């Protein structure tokens, strides 16, 4: 997956600023990746909501926007170290951050492929497909206002860097809402199945009741027939006895 390189502004030879910017971007990249990894399983749910799908896609877009900018910082920092001998002592820090960055890039690419695959399965069943677009300028806005302030404020803190529109961490509330929606949809589906089962059981009970009534009717008829037969048999026996007596008298 190719990356689109943003041109970061030049700070001049400074180890501290590059190190803080890259470290902060790595923190944001990890946060976005962890969010996506935590929620990617929900994309296999046939009741996945459009909102969760779009949120995860936006997270992936943000990751690759951060990766693109961070690549620029690493490249410029490496060039500064090569140009200014006084910065050679920061080579170890650069190599360490670069190794961490490469690991996160590998995770992001694998995750993007998995999201694309799972979202395709989800959209084919439940929602209209929303194409995944990575590394296209304009899909993720990058705010460079923090860079201008950094040039004039050498003592800025990492916590003050707010340089990307990352959908903030409102994603956690979006996640909660989407999970609630997913659960509600699942519960509604289960209730529907229960109602269908109740209808089936009611029909079976009706059939059994009708059959039971029929059996009872047959039983009554048989009993009446038996009683009638017994009565007829007694009548015949009485008649036979009477005729026998008459015959003896003669």
Whole-Å CA distances, 45 to 23, 54, 174, 245, 250: 35, 15, 17, 94, 101
For residue 112, is it within any domain? Answer: yes
Q: Is residue 88 part of a domain?
A: yes
Number of domains in the chain: 1
Is 132 within the bounds of a domain? yes
* pLDDT level of residue 22 (50, 70, 90 thresholds): very high
The domain in which residue 52 lies consists of 15-169
Asked if residue 33 is part of any domain, the answer here is yes
Predicted pLDDT of residue 241: 78
Task: Please tell me the predicted confidence (pLDDT) of residue 167.
Answer: 40
Residue 164 pairs in a beta bridge with 142
Residue 194 lies in a domain: no
- Look at residue 102 in the predicted model and tell me its pLDDT: 96
> What pLDDT, on the 0 to 100 scale, is given for residue 54?
83
The model carries a pTM of 0.45
In a domain, 76, yes or no: yes
Mean pLDDT of 94-103: 94
Is residue 186 very low, low, confident or very high in pLDDT (cuts 50, 70, 90)? low
Classify residue 224: in a domain, yes or no.
no
**Partners of 142 in the β-ladder:** 164
Classify residue 64 by its DSSP letter: H
Which of 17-31, 76-90, 218-232 is predicted least confidently? Answer: 218-232
- The region that residue 138 occupies, defined by phi over 0 for left and psi between -120 and 50 for alpha, beta otherwise, is left
Q: Report if residue 205 sits inside a domain.
A: no
Return the pLDDT at 206.
65
Q: What is the pLDDT of residues 111-143, one digit of tens each?
A: 898 888 876 665 555 444 444 444 433 344 444
For the cut 90, the answer to whether the pLDDT of residue 3 exceeds it is no
């Amino acid at each position: 997956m190719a990356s689109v390189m943003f041109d970061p502004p030049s700070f001049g030879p400074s180890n501290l600023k590059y190190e803080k910017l890259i470290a902060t971007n790595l923190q944001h990249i990890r946060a976005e990746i962890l969010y996506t990894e935590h929620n990617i399983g929900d994309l296999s749910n046939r009741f996945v909501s459009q909102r969760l799908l779009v949120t995860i896609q936006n997270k992936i877009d943000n990751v690759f926007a951060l990766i693109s900018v961070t690549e620029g910082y690493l490249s410029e920092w490496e060039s500064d170290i090569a140009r200014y001998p006084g910065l050679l002592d920061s080579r170890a820090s650069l190599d360490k951050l670069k190794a961490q960055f490469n690991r996160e890039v590998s995770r992001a690419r694998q995750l993007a492929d998995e999201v694309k695959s799972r979202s395709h399965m989800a959209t084919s069943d439940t929602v209209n497909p929303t194409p995944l677009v990575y590394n296209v300028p304009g899909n993720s806005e990058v705010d460079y206002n923090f860079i201008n302030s950094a040039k004039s404020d050498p003592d800025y803190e990492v916590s003050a860097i707010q340089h990307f529109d990352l959908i903030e961490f409102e994603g956690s509330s979006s996640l909660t809402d989407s999970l609630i929606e997913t659960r509600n949809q699942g519960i509604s589906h289960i209730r529907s199945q229960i109602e269908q089962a109740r209808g089936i059981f009611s029909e079976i009970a009706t059939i059994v009741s009708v059959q039971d009534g029929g059996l009872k009717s047959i039983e009554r008829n048989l009993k009446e027939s038996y009683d009638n037969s017994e009565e007829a048999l007694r009548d015949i026996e009485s008649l036979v006895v009477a005729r026998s007596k008459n015959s003896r008298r003669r």
